[in-house]
Amino acid sequence: MSDILTMCKTVLSSLRKKTACQMYPIKPAKFYKNTRGHITIDPNKCILCTMCAKRCPTRAIEVDRAKGTWLINRYKCITCNECVISCKPVALRMEIQYSPPGAKKDIELYNIEKPTPKSAVPGE
Amino acid sequence: MFEKQEIINITKDELINRVTPLFKDGYRLVQICCTKLDKLIVDYTFDKDYKFFGFRLDLPLENAELPSITNVYFAAFGYENELHDLFGIKVIGNKVDFGGKFYRINEQAPFNKKQEAKNG
Amino acid sequence: MANRTVIPFGPQHPVLPEPIHLDLVLEDEKVVEAIPNVGFIHRGLELLCQKKPFQDMVLVAERICGICSLIHGVGFVQGVEKIMNLDLPERALFLRVFWSELSRIHSHLLWLGLAADAIGFESLFMHSWRVREMILDIFEETTGGRVIFNVIKVGGVKKDITKETFTRIMKQLDKAEEEYKQISEVFINDFTVIHRWSGVGVLSKEDAVKLGAVGPTARASGIKSDMRMLKYGAYEKIDFEPTVERSGDCYARAAVRVKEVYQSFDIIRQCYNKIPEGEIETKVTGFPNGEYFSRVEQPRGEVVYYVKGNGTKFLDRFRVRTPTFANLPPLLQMLAGCDLADVPAIILSIDPCISCTER
């Protein structure tokens, strides 16, 4: 059984409704609570334990304990959330916004203050 | 939840004689797969009515040869070309033989490279 | 004897989603035979199993293909769990089925849009993808990503869904099903669609068995075979029957996919009613040692994963056999004897996913 006017109902109803397209980037994009956007670090909380660099499957994070730097290559990061889970002092967080596009693939470097060692004698 | 899987070991000379009665019985060829350990292990898998059935045969690591089953199962030509490209196994009598150019790769038999001595 | 010419089709063609090359031997506009040529995007992903620990291989398995990514993850993880004898909590199995069926709906909607575009019906293509956007929004709300989801791991799933969120998602799915009803009527009943697709690219039932067709390509020729009837995962508690058509042409393959979307909506409702409370993961200790062939049902057909472990954290072998690889010989059979103008419609009707085929 074939019909010629099957598409009419959809066409007429889409004349009445608003368009389904969004005017991005003039109107901002909609993100949800769970969206995996990009990783940010709070440099004051980091203790340079390098667990995030060991756990990263693409080696996007590099930590140098001697110089006190933490860097991330956003173009290698696949936002898998493993570094956030393995960070004990909760210095890493997953933001819901996607990282902005760039003209060349560069890295982001943060200087971390090395944590002061606790003294061995109690009471001081 | 997990299905029972039956695998029988055969030699490469009895391959075509064991495969032909399966074709007449209505079994479907599922896949042909190869694993490299200290020798090459080739698995032929068949299926009928959700029942899983396989043949397994051993080949030496270098200069391995196999008879083709494309006279029985035409669908095997893709898998046999892949065996030739990735592992260097020569398949004799393949009806659609690409001669090593099925996947356009630069190296010969990249999955069957000689292991260099591991350091440390 | 008539004059024979050879015309190359692909790898770039407006109708193809991914690159495949065919040499068509023509005799005055009728195709006599077709010679396939794949291998443009071979990445050698299977060799990575010797360099990455088995828990990280799930991330590689998900990235074999963009459209069917979640079910690749489920199949691989199921093989590893069988070797390690892990017992999963019920809630994790039901969540996996929920996401797998959503994945099936979005893949079929994508294909319906591409098939409509191949016959020139561009407004139907846009409407199908508009309904697909509603499904992708549900994915982003529950898993965090629209295409690559990153929720499957060895031992369970990574994210949970609360009761209020689940109820709200079921209401959104009801609205999506309402919109989908209007579009599916066009695919089944419209005069142009029937005229373009009936009697084109016929695959008989004997040929489908001899050449090893899988998935909707086989079900459209009368073979009742669906790997979900193996009752892996939570499918033991869900009842449904495979969808089968008899005629074996392009119209039958489209009709099978249209009906499977309705079936998936129904399976998700059964999931919502039967899902228990509880944990979503178990603890994983030790390394895999053994081998297993794990079979799951993707939107395009049957996938076979062969995993072999040897007691260390790297696997010995990881082999994927995807449904498009098994559907290539039936495609060559369908192309023999057809008109040149029907070739794009026939190639699209097996739902080719070439990046899966060549990993």
pLDDT at C105 over 90: yes
By three-state DSSP, how is residue C291 classified?
strand
Report the share of chain C in percent with pLDDT over 90.
19
DSSP bridge partners of C103: none
Q: Which residues of C touch A22 (CB under 8 A)?
A: none
- What are the structural domains, with CATH classification, of chain A? 36-111 (3.30.70.3270)
Number of domains in chain C: 1
By DSSP bridging, strand B51-59 and strand B40-48 are antiparallel
Quote the pLDDT of residue A118: 59
Residue B116 belongs to some domain of the structure:
no
Task: For residues A97 and A95, give the distance between their C-alpha atoms in angstroms, rounded to a whole number.
Answer: 6
Average pLDDT over residues C217-224: 90
Residue B106 belongs to some domain of the structure:
yes
Nearest CA in chain C to B46: C212
Q: A67-105 in b/e burial notation, b at 16+ Cβ within 10 A?
A: ebebebebeebbbbbbbbeebeeebbebeeeebeeeeee
Residue B117 belongs to some domain of the structure:
no
Average pLDDT over residues B15-43: 86
- C146-166, pLDDT tens digit by residue? 888 888 988 889 888 888 999
Whether residue C11 is preceded by a cis peptide bond, meaning omega within 30 degrees of 0, is yes
pLDDT at C261 over 50: yes
Q: At what angle do helices C122-142 and C90-118 cross, to 10 degrees?
A: 160
| Cβ of residue C236 closer than 8 Å to a chain A Cβ | no
Q: Retrieve residue C353's tokens.
A: 């996913």
Neighbours of C286 (CB within 10 A): 10
Residue C214 belongs to a domain with what CATH number? 1.10.645.10
Residue B41 belongs to some domain of the structure:
yes
Mutate to test the interface with C, among B19, B25, B27, B31 (most CBs of C within 10 A): B31
Quote the pLDDT of residue C258: 92
Q: Which residues of C touch B45 (CB under 8 A)?
A: 293, 304
DSSP bridge partners of C27: C4, C30
Average pLDDT over residues C9-31: 86
pLDDT band, residue C107 (cuts 50/70/90): very high
From the list A2, A32, A57, which residue is nearest C190 (CB)? A2
Contact A46, A64 (CB under 8 A): no
Nearest to C58 by CA among C160, C159, C150: C150
pLDDT at C233 over 50: yes
Quote the pLDDT of residue B119: 41
Residue ranges making up the domain that contains C99: 4-358
SS (H, E, C) C111-163: HHHHHHHHCCCHHHHHHHHHHHHHHHHHHHHHCCCCCCCCCEECCEECCCCCH
Quote the pLDDT of residue B120: 36
Residue ranges making up the domain that contains B53: 5-111
CA C59 vs. chain centroid, Å, equals: 18
- Smallest CA–CA distance, residue C236 to chain B, in Å, is 8
Complex prediction ipTM: 0.86
**All residues at 6 or more sequence positions from C258 whose CB lies less than 8 Å from its CB, including other chains:** C108, C112, C184, C187, C188
Residue B74 belongs to a domain with what CATH number? 3.30.460.80
Nearest to C281 by CA among A85, A3, B63, A2: A85
Q: Which residues of A touch C150 (CB under 8 A)?
A: 36, 79-81
Instruction: Determine whether the interchain pair B110/C231 forms a contact, defined as Cβ–Cβ distance below 8 Å.
Output: no
Q: Retrieve residue C302's tokens.
A: 């049957």
Nearest to C142 by CA among C280, C264, C266: C280
Residue B118 belongs to some domain of the structure:
no
By DSSP bridging, strand C152-153 and strand C30-37 are unpaired
What average pLDDT does chain A have? Answer: 81
Neighbours of B51 (CB within 10 A): 12
